Each structure stands twice: as structure tokens, then as C-alpha cells.
């Protein structure tokens, strides 16, 4: 792509940011899937659970100072409690964006998935994308989603949903093959409790996977506001999946 002449500029931001947080550029060195650093005007960092700067390990993406497009609250909220709890609850002077991130020894930045989607199994934290990338690497799997569900022994157990390619028939052999692929990559203790086959996964109109909705549907809970979904009928696919 680009025939070695056009730079590929990775860019990440958020609706509530009114723009970008970190990005690539045409001057700095590039690595696959990485970002060169913060956009101009953004005081960004990666921190541990105590809010200390973190390098060479996975932490939380935060913004340390106000920026030009910063909102002061949520539209029509009578007080700032929900706004504060959403972004500042873990530190009054740090805006938590809700993404896991890392900065390597060369100063390159990486976004590693939503921190609020984190699955914790027997004390080990997993990002859903880590599991999903293993599943979609299988030639029979078109899309996948991974969630954590309550488990008396491990705290949470892994449940995965897979959309298969059109010509593929779901079988127990395929289900076991996918479980073994995950066990091989990340360890047997993290083998999924279930792998379910579905015809579709809930996504927003810009193709963002809604793991919150998937988890609620799987557990038989209310899915809340689903007005942003492109395919609300997929919720029933989750509820009826096997």
C-alpha cells in the first residue's frame, strides 16, 4: 500500500475528545500498528493503576491537562457527577480515556483495546482483542467477539462468539479446534468456557463492536440504549446462540 512512497498515518481519538489524541506523522519513524506520539496541544501519558508514568508495559491512556476541544460536562446533566465518574474517578488531575496503551523503548505508542472491556480470569487480565485476533486468524472465522462472564472459581470465564464464513458449517470439531488454538497461544488455564456460533455481532454504524451489548445479551440482562446499533436484530442471535 502506497508503494513505499506514501506514509500510512495511524490516528486515534474520540468523540468526546473532539479530535485526536495520538497520531503518526510524515517525519517520525513508523512501526506497524504504532503511533509517533501525542498530537500538538495534547498532554498525553500512559500510567499504571496508581497514576504513575509507565513505559514498556501496558497501562491506561490518560490526558494530563485540558485541551482546546475539551467539554465541561454532559449535555443537559444538572450536575457534573456522571461526567466526573466517567473520566476523573481515578484521579482528579487525570482524564482516563478508557483505552489500554503502551509506549515502547523507542518512544512508539500503541493502543491495545478498551480497558473497560478487560477480562480477568484467575488473576490474569486479558484484552478481548487479544483473543479475537486468534480466532479470526482461523480461515473459517470471519468475525469474533470475546467477553468475560461471572465464574465461581476463576472470577470470570471466557466466552467467545464467532461469525463463520458463508460456506463453513459449524461443528463440534471446529468448536474444539478454536478452543485449542486459544489454549495454545495464551495457555490452557485461559481456554474458553464456551465458543458460540452466531450469524452476526452487534455493531455501531461505524462498525464498532459493542461488547457491552454482547455481554448483557449473553447474560440475559437489559442491553440498555441500543439506538446506535446498525443491526439490533443481532442481539437475538446472541441470546439464542449455542
Q: Which residues are known to be catalytic?
A: 116
Q: Which three cell numbers stand for residue 47?
A: 500510567
| Pairing of the two strands 59-63 and 95-103 | antiparallel
Q: How many CB atoms lie within 10 A of CB 78?
A: 8
Candidates 226, 204, 218; CA nearest to 146 is 218
> What SS3 state is found at 213?
helix
> What SS3 state is found at 69?
coil
CA distance 210 to 20: 21
Phi and psi at residue 220, to the nearest 5°: 75, 25
CA distances 71 to 47, 67, 83, 114, Å, are: 22, 9, 10, 21
Whether 128 and 119 have beta carbons less than 8 Å apart is answered as yes
CA distance 127 to 119: 6
Contacts of 162 (CB under 8 A, 6+ apart): 135, 141, 143, 144, 178, 195, 196, 197, 198
Amino acid at each position: 500500500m502506497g508503494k513505499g512512497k506514501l506514509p500510512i498515518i495511524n490516528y486515534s481519538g474520540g468523540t468526546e475528545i473532539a479530535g485526536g489524541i495520538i497520531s503518526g506523522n510524515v517525519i517520525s519513524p513508523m512501526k506497524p500498528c504504532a503511533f509517533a506520539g501525542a498530537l500538538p496541544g495534547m498532554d498525553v501519558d500512559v500510567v499504571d493503576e496508581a497514576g504513575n508514568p509507565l513505559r514498556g508495559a501496558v497501562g491506561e491512556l490518560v490526558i494530563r491537562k485540558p485541551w482546546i476541544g475539551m467539554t465541561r460536562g454532559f449535555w443537559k446533566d444538572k450536575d457534573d457527577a456522571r461526567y466526573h465518574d466517567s473520566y476523573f474517578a481515578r484521579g482528579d488531575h487525570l482524564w482516563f480515556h478508557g483505552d489500554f496503551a503502551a509506549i515502547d523503548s523507542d518512544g512508539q505508542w500503541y493502543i491495545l483495546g478498551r480497558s473497560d472491556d478487560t477480562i480477568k480470569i484467575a488473576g490474569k487480565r486479558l484484552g478481548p482483542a487479544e483473543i479475537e485476533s486468534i480466532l479470526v486468524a482461523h480461515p473459517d472465522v470471519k468475525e469474533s467477539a470475546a467477553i468475560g462472564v461471572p465464574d465461581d472459581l476463576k472470577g470470570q470465564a471466557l466466552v467467545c462468539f464467532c461469525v463463520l464464513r458463508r460456506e463453513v458449517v459449524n461443528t463440534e470439531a471446529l468448536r474444539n479446534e478454536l478452543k485449542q488454538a486459544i489454549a495454545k497461544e495464551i495457555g490452557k488455564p485461559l481456554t474458553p468456557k464456551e465458543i458460540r456460533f452466531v450469524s452476526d455481532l452487534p455493531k455501531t454504524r461505524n462498525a464498532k463492536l459493542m461488547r457491552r451489548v454482547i455481554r448483557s445479551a449473553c447474560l440475559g440482562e437489559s442491553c440498555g440504549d441500543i439506538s446506535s446499533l446498525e443491526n439490533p436484530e443481532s442481539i437475538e442471535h446472541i441470546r439464542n446462540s449455542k
